Amino acid sequence: MNLAPTGDEQRLRDEFRAWLREHLPWEYGRGLPPRFDDLADEVAFLRDWQRRLAAGRWVGVAWPEEYGGRGAGPVEHFVVTEELARARAPELVGRIGINLVGPTLLAHGTPEQRARWLGRILPGEELWCQLFSEPSAGSDLASLTTRATPTEGGWRLNGQKVWTSYAQFADWGLCLARTDPDVPKQRGISAFGVDMRAAGVDVRPLRQITDETEFNEVFFTDTFVPEDALIGPLNEGWRVANSTLSHERGINPRQLVIHLQLVEELLRLGLERGAWDDDRLRPRLAQAAVEVRLFQLANWRSLSRVARGEEPGPEGSTMKVSWSEMSKRLHDTVMAVLGSAAPLWHGAADNPGDGTWQRSWLYYQASSIWAGTNEVQRNILGERVLGLPREPRRDAAPTR
C-alpha cells in the first residue's frame, strides 16, 4: 500500500480545494449547505451546483474528456470525491447517471447512445434513475417481471419498479425488463434507456422514515420504448446490469470522509455531554474512532490495488458489510450519548444538532440494504472467498 500522493495528485487536490474556496455556495470549512423543506427546491439547488462543478470539469473526472471528464484514473476520482465531502458538499444530484449509468453506457452503449446521453449527464442537464428493483425482485433481481414486448419500431413496457431514488426528478431511467419469458431467467432480460416523461410512466413518491420522499414506485402501462433505446444486445441485460452493479460497491471516499467527520463530531458531543466520564460510553467512543480509522485504511488498500490495475474482487463485499455495520454502531453510540435527547426531532428544545443526528441515525439504517443487502454480501463472501457450498435453492439465490 502506497500512501504518498504523487506530485500530480497533490497538485490536483490543491487546485480543487482552491476552486472550492472560490465557488462553494457557502463558506468553505465553516458553512453548511442550505436546508430545504421542499425536495424540489433542493434538487434545483443541487442541479445548479452540479452544473457549476461540471463547468470547472470537477464532475466525473475519470470519464473520457469528450464527455466532459478529464480521462483521469481512480486515484484522481478518489481525491476529488474526498475534497467534495471535506467541503461538506451534498451528494451530487446526478450521481446515478455519473456513477452507474455513464460507466454502463461507456461499456455497453452504441456510439449514438453515448453521443445522445453522456454529454448531458455531468452538467446535470439530464438526470437518470435506476429502474432495477421490483416488489418481488430485490436481492433476487433476476426474477423481475416487468415485460418489454415487441411492437412496431420498438417495445411496449408494462410492470412496476420500486425504491427508485429520485425518479420524480429523472429525465431518463436505466430499466431492466424481461424480453424472453421462456428461457432461464437471467437469459431473458434486456436493458433500456427509458424516457421518464413518456406516456404510460407513472411515478409515485414514497414517504420514508426520515420524512423525506427520495424513493418512488414507478408504474409502466404500455410505455413505448424505441428500438434505439436498447442498451447492449437483446436478452443480454443481465450482463449490462452486472456491470452497473459492479460500480455500486467497493471504495467509498465519500462515506469515508463523512464518517471521519461524524466520528470527530461524536467525540466532541461526548465531551459536551460528559460521556467520556461514563464507563459504559467511553469504550464505545474509542471503538467508533478505531473503526473509522480501519475503514480509512481499508479504502486506501483497495485504492492502491485498483490504481495498480488489479481487480477490486470480493473486497467490495467486505467493505460494504464492514462500513455499513460500523456506521450503524457509530450512530447507536451517538444515540447513547444523546441519552434523553435521542428521541427528539427538529425544533425540540435541548436537542443538540436540532435533529440532524436523529435523521442521520435513521438514514444509515438503510446502509445495510442499498447496493445489495449485507446478508447477500455475506453469501457472496461465503461462496466466492471462503469456498463454502452454494445455497441449496439456486432458484431463490440472491443475485445482488
Ligand X SMILES: Cc1cc2nc3c(=O)[nH]c(=O)nc-3n(C[C@H](O)[C@H](O)[C@H](O)COP(=O)(O)OP(=O)(O)OC[C@H]3O[C@@H](n4cnc5c(N)ncnc54)[C@H](O)[C@@H]3O)c2cc1C
Binding site for ligand X (CB under 6 A): 129-130, 132-133, 138-139, 163-165, 366, 369-370, 372-373, 375-376, 379, 397-398, 400
CB of 53 to ligand X, least distance (A): 22
Closest to ligand X by CB, 304 vs 322, is: 322
Closest to ligand X by CB, 264 vs 395, is: 395
243 grid coordinates: 456491470
CB of 315 to ligand X, least distance (A): 20
How far is the C-alpha of 96 from the C-alpha of 165, rounded, in Å?
9
Tell me which amino acid residue 154 is. Answer: G
Pairing mode of beta strands 216-226, 154-162: antiparallel
Closest to ligand X by CB, 19 vs 370, is: 370
Closest to ligand X by CB, 64 vs 205, is: 205
Give 173's strand partners: 129, 194
Q: Quick check: helix, strand or coil at residue 139?
A: coil
Write the CA distances from 82 to 4, 67, 148, 249, 366, integer angstroms. Answer: 16, 22, 40, 16, 22
Residue count of the chain, please give it.
Answer: 400
Number of C-beta neighbours around residue 203 at 10 A: 19
Closest to ligand X by CB, 87 vs 218, is: 218
Closest to ligand X by CB, 107 vs 366, is: 366
H-run or E-run covering 81? helix 74-86
Q: Give me the DSSP letters along 37-81.
A: SSHHHHHHHHHHHHHHHHHTT-SSTTS-GGGTS----HHHHHHHH
CB of 134 to ligand X, least distance (A): 8
CB 60 within 8 A of CB 69: yes
CB of 65 to ligand X, least distance (A): 28
CB of 251 to ligand X, least distance (A): 19
22 belongs to the catalytic site: no
How far is the C-alpha of 228 from the C-alpha of 288, rounded, in Å?
50
Tell me which amino acid residue 160 is. Answer: Q
CB 351 within 8 A of CB 341: yes
Closest to ligand X by CB, 216 vs 358, is: 216
Only one residue has cell 420522499, namely 213
CB 117 within 8 A of CB 285: no
148 grid coordinates: 418489454
Q: Which residue is nearest to ligand X (CB)?
A: 138
CB of 279 to ligand X, least distance (A): 34
Catalytic residue among 248, 265, 325, 383: 248
Q: What residues contact 392, with CB distance under 8 A and at least 6 apart?
A: none
CB 171 within 8 A of CB 197: yes
CB of 128 to ligand X, least distance (A): 10
Q: What residues contact 372, with CB distance under 8 A and at least 6 apart?
A: 139, 245, 248, 249, 317, 320, 398, 400
Number of C-beta neighbours around residue 242 at 10 A: 14
Catalytic residues: 248
